[in-house]
Structure 1
Amino acid sequence: MSDKNKQILDQDEHLMDHDYDGIKELDNPPPRWIMLMFYITIGWSILYGAYYFWLKEGDHQDAEYAKKSMKHDDKYQIASLSADELTAFTDEASIAEGKQIYTDMACMACHGMNGEGNAIGPNLCDEYSLNGCDFESVFNIIKNGNPAKGMTAFKGQISDEKIQKVASYVMTMQGTNPANAKEAQGEKCE
């Protein structure tokens, strides 16, 4: 028996009684693995509906987003400091940590390793400032940035406490005279 005859015999057993213009339809069931996936999908949808809608055990998208946002804010301590808490650190450990953060966040790419400034960023060591001379101004420019001048906002990258330490370190730079310092920019601080 040839392969062609065998195929015709196999088709004959799958033929349905349905006939239209001489065209006969084969009853060709889907493979078992597809049917298994189909039944698993139906079962999963029933469990999903029960968990989220009928029993109301699971959170909907907006509640889940709020929870994840709170976890993120807690992890990175994004909550803003009040004006009373916004003071410059003076202890050596905080200043050293501020210097480390200055290095880790690559501030030297724009302001130089010692705050001397370069073609991109201003000199942080002189008595002049583009954004205000007080600690709050330095803190705010590090936190919120100034996109028009190319200053990155760091509020989404580090916590307010770390920004406070970097600002404290930057304030200790004022009055130092590093080599190759950039010329003064902005208003003179009094």
Structure 2
Amino acid sequence: MSEENKQIVEQEDNIMDHDYDGIKELDNPPPRWIMLMFYITIGWSIIYAAYFFWLKEGDHQDAEYARKSMAHDEKYQIETISADDLAAFTDEASIAEGKQIYTDLACMACHGMNGEGNAIGPNLTDEYTLHGCDFQSAFHTIKEGVPAKGMTAYKTQMSDEKIQKVASYIMTLRGTNPANAKDPQGEKCE
């Protein structure tokens, strides 16, 4: 018996009893590996439903998001300082810590090692500024960033207290006149 005839005989054996408008259907079961995957999926969905919905052991999306957000805030010690508490630090320890944070975050890549500015960032040592002269403006610029000019927002990377220390350090740079300072930009502070 030829291969073609053998296939026809096998098909005739697997033809189902019903037909519709002369169209006959083969009883052609899916491969075993697909059926195994199907049964595994059913089993997994029962376990999932039991864990999250019937036994109420697992967190739903909202609860899991809230838990992860709290862990993130604790890790980075994120807290908000009220406008009344927002003032420049003047003690040496806070200024030194602000300088260390300035160095650790690589602020000098854009603003220079001594705040003199470079091709990317503005000079922080002169009497001119792009985003306001007061301490609150410096704090806001560091915290919220200036995406249009490439300034990163640091509100998710460090606490308000650390931002306050960096802003305090930057305020101490005004009037220091380092070598190779970039030309003034923005409005003059009075």
Q: Please classify the TM superposition score into its range, dividing by the shorter chain length.
A: 0.7 to 0.9
Does the aligned pair in 2 maintain the 1:111–1:120 contact within 8 Å?
yes
SS of the residue corresponding to residue 181 of structure 2 reads coil
Structure 2 counterparts to residues 145-160 of structure 1, below 5 A? 145-147=145-147, 151-160=151-160
Summarize the alignment of residues 20-169 of structure 1 with structure 2, pairs less than 5 Å apart.
20-82=20-82, 83-84=84-85, 86-88=87-89, 90-92=91-93, 94-147=94-147, 151-169=151-169
Report the count of equivalent residues: 188
| Percent pairwise identity | 74
Alignment partners' CA distance in 2, 1:106 and 1:156? 16
Residue of structure 2 in register with 1:186 after alignment: 187
Go from structure 1 to structure 2 and tell me whether the alpha carbon gap of 1:17 and 1:132 turns closer, same or farther (over 3 Å shift): closer
CA distance in 2: counterparts of 1:175 and 1:21, whole angstroms: 94
For structure 2, list consecutive stretches of 5 or more residues without a partner in the other structure: none
The answer to whether 1:7 aligns with 2:10 is no
* Counterpart residue identity of residue 140, structure 1: H
Does the CA-based 8 Å contact 1:130-1:187 persist in structure 2?
A: no
Could you state the TM-score of these two structures normalised by the residue count of structure 2?
Answer: 0.78
| 1:174 matches 2:174 | yes
How far does residue 118 in structure 1 lie from its aligned partner after superposition?
3.7
3-state DSSP of counterpart to 1:29: coil
TM-score w.r.t. the length of structure 1 is: 0.78
CA-CA distance at 1:115 after TM superposition: 0.9
CA distance in structure 1 between the partners assigned to 2:149 and 2:28 by the alignment: 69
Report the residue type matching 2:80 in the other structure. S
| SS of aligned partner of 1:51 | helix
* AA aligned opposite 1:138: A
Query: Quick check: 2:116–2:125 contact (8 Å CA) kept in 1?
Result: yes
Q: Is the 8 A contact 1:88 1:135 kept in 2?
A: no
State the 1:158 CA deviation.
2.7
Structure 1 residue runs of 4+, over 6 Å off? none
Contact 2:88 2:167 in 1 (8 A): no
Cα deviations by residue, 1:109-140 (Å, 9 ceiling, x for unpaired): 43223211245533211344444545444222
Looking at structure 2, the residues matched to 32 and 20 of structure 1 have their Cα atoms a distance apart, in angstroms, of 28
Question: CA 1:146–1:20 in structure 2 vs 1: closer, same or farther (change >3 Å)?
Answer: closer
Whole-angstrom distance in 2 between the partners of 1:176 and 1:100: 18
> Relative to structure 1, is the Cα distance of residues 173 and 23 closer, same or farther in structure 2, using a 3 angstrom cutoff?
same
